[in-house]
């Protein structure tokens, strides 16, 4: 599943390419998108803006409608010039939005809905979102409070709960906990409030570092995500996808285990992120 920084960059690229342009064509394989347009067609409307909320991408139209998409695991938006060859198979197309100069195509997007702009904050998928790490008005204190409400679950799983704070996926989960020096299998109730705040600060710093404005052209994704600050493509992460490799800080082999109800992969350094001695905590070994 794309992380919050990927959606943020995609929204920024779409906004730059489409904002202020008039819709000249709209096609979708989803009847739920095409049927409502019989009464209020998008053609002729202006695209006001495109932005992101957590992992949701929102495209706002002048007629008071918002197109909300969620990429899940394999979805993506591409930008093309009219007539330019697509980089993905036509069978992967889910939405085509045309303007006279730019064509936006959504491939393999599983979630796409029209929402009324006036009530979008009350739309079920959005009203439950926690503070967005990449929002201009991100409230770190509120994020810490929401995380602490999840005292009975392990901190790594709590970070993936978009109702606690929005934008973290599996990569930033492991990387933020490494930077903060917290074992991922520690239950939230066992993590001091100042340490939860440190985790949130680490996550915000890492995500914001990866949405720096160095994109160009019509790409919706530019550059390699990195958390270490290193330019070497082979040294982008501290722990993620590095199971069995030496820790970049201490040389201890990085551990990997499946965690949580969805068996998501978690990576950590047993020395830099030691387990608590509490008997209530169970930390699996590397698999």
Place of tokens 């499946």: 258
Q: Are 190 and 278 in contact (CB under 8 A)?
A: yes
Note if 55 is an active site residue.
yes
| Active-site position among 55, 98, 173, 175 | 55
Query: For 116-129, what is the mean pLDDT?
Result: 92
What DSSP string describes 190-241? GS-HHHHHHHHHHHHHHHHHTT-S---TT-SS-S---SS----GGG--SSTT
H-run or E-run covering 127: helix 124-127
| Active-site position among 3, 154, 175, 204 | 3
Q: 248 to each of 47, 169, 212, 265, 271, how far by Cα in Å?
A: 46, 22, 24, 19, 12
Q: What is the pLDDT of residues 16-50, one digit of tens each?
A: 999 999 999 999 999 889 876 666 689 999 999 99
Q: Are 131 and 138 in contact (CB under 8 A)?
A: yes
CATH 1.10.8.50 intervals, the chain: 140-268
Beta bridge partners of residue 97, listed in sequence order: 26, 104
pLDDT of residue 216: 40
Q: ∠ CA(177), CA(183), CA(185), 5° rounding?
A: 110
pLDDT of residue 38: 63
Phi, psi of 96 (to 5 degrees): -125, 120
Note if 128 is an active site residue.
no
Q: Which residues fall within 8 angstroms of residue 226, CB to CB, at 6 or more apart? A: 210, 236, 237
Please state the three-class secondary structure of 140-181 as a single string: HHHHHHHHHCCCCCEHHHHHHCCCCCECCCHHHHHHHHHHHC
H-run or E-run covering 273: none
CATH 3.20.190.10 intervals, the chain: 4-127
Q: Are 105 and 96 in contact (CB under 8 A)?
A: yes
Determine whether 158 is exposed, middle or buried from the number of CB atoms within 10 Å of its CB (0-12, 13-18, 19+): buried
If one looks up domain 140-268 in CATH, what number appears? 1.10.8.50
* Percentage of the chain lying above the pLDDT 90 cut: 78
Q: ∠ CA(106), CA(109), CA(110), 5° rounding?
A: 155
What is the Cα–Cα distance from 166 to 168, expressed in whole angstroms? 6
CATH class of 4-127: alpha beta
What is the Cα–Cα distance from 6 to 169, expressed in whole angstroms? 10
Note if 173 is an active site residue.
no
Q: What is the pLDDT of residues 173-227, one digit of tens each?
A: 999 999 999 999 999 999 999 999 999 999 999 999 999 765 443 444 445 788 9
Please choose, from the candidates 138, 191, 194, the residue with its C-alpha nearest in 3D space to the C-alpha of residue 166. Answer: 138
Residue 260, SS3? coil
| Active-site position among 2, 115, 131, 204 | 2
Query: For 243-262, what is the mean pLDDT?
Result: 95
Q: 268 to each of 180, 202, 205, 225, how far by Cα in Å?
A: 11, 15, 19, 19
Please choose, from the candidates 275, 273, 266, 225, the residue with its C-alpha nearest in 3D space to the C-alpha of residue 249. Answer: 273
- What's this model's pTM, rounded to 2 decimal places? 0.87
Residue 144 scores a pLDDT above 50: yes
Reported confidence tier of residue 13, pLDDT bands at 50, 70, 90: very high
What DSSP string describes 61-107? ETTSEEEEEE-TTT-EEEEE-TTPPPSS-GGGEEEEEE-SS-EEEEE
pLDDT of residue 114: 93
């Amino acid at each position: 599943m794309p992380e919050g920084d990927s959606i943020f960059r995609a929204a920024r690229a779409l906004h730059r390419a489409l904002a202020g342009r008039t819709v000249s064509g709209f096609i979708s394989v989803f009847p739920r998108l095409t049927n409502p347009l019989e009464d209020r067609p998008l053609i002729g409307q202006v695209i006001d803006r495109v932005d992101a909320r957590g992992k949701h991408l929102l495209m706002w139209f002048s007629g008071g409608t918002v197109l909300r998409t969620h990429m899940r695991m394999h979805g993506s938006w591409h930008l093309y010039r009219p007539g330019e060859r697509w980089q993905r198979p036509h069978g992967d197309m889910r939405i085509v939005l045309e303007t006279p100069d730019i064509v936006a195509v959504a491939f393999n997007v599983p979630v796409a809905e029209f929402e009324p702009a006036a009530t979008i904050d009350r739309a079920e998928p959005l009203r439950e979102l926690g503070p967005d790490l990449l929002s201009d008005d991100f409230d770190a204190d509120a994020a810490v409070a929401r995380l602490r409400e999840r005292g009975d679950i392990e901190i790594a799983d709590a970070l993936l709960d978009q109702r606690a704070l929005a934008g973290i996926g599996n990569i930033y989960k492991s990387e933020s906990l490494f930077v903060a020096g917290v074992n991922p299998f520690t239950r939230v109730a066992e993590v001091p409030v100042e340490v939860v705040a440190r985790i949130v600060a680490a996550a915000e710093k890492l995500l914001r570092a990866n949405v720096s404005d160095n994109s160009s052209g019509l790409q919706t994704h530019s550059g390699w995500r990195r958390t270490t600050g290193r330019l070497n493509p082979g040294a982008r992460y501290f722990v993620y996808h590095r199971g069995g490799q030496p820790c970049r800080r201490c040389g201890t082999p990085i551990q990997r285990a499946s965690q949580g109800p969805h068996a998501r992969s978690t990576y950590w350094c047993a020395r830099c992120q030691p387990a608590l001695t509490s008997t209530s905590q169970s930390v699996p070994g590397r698999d």
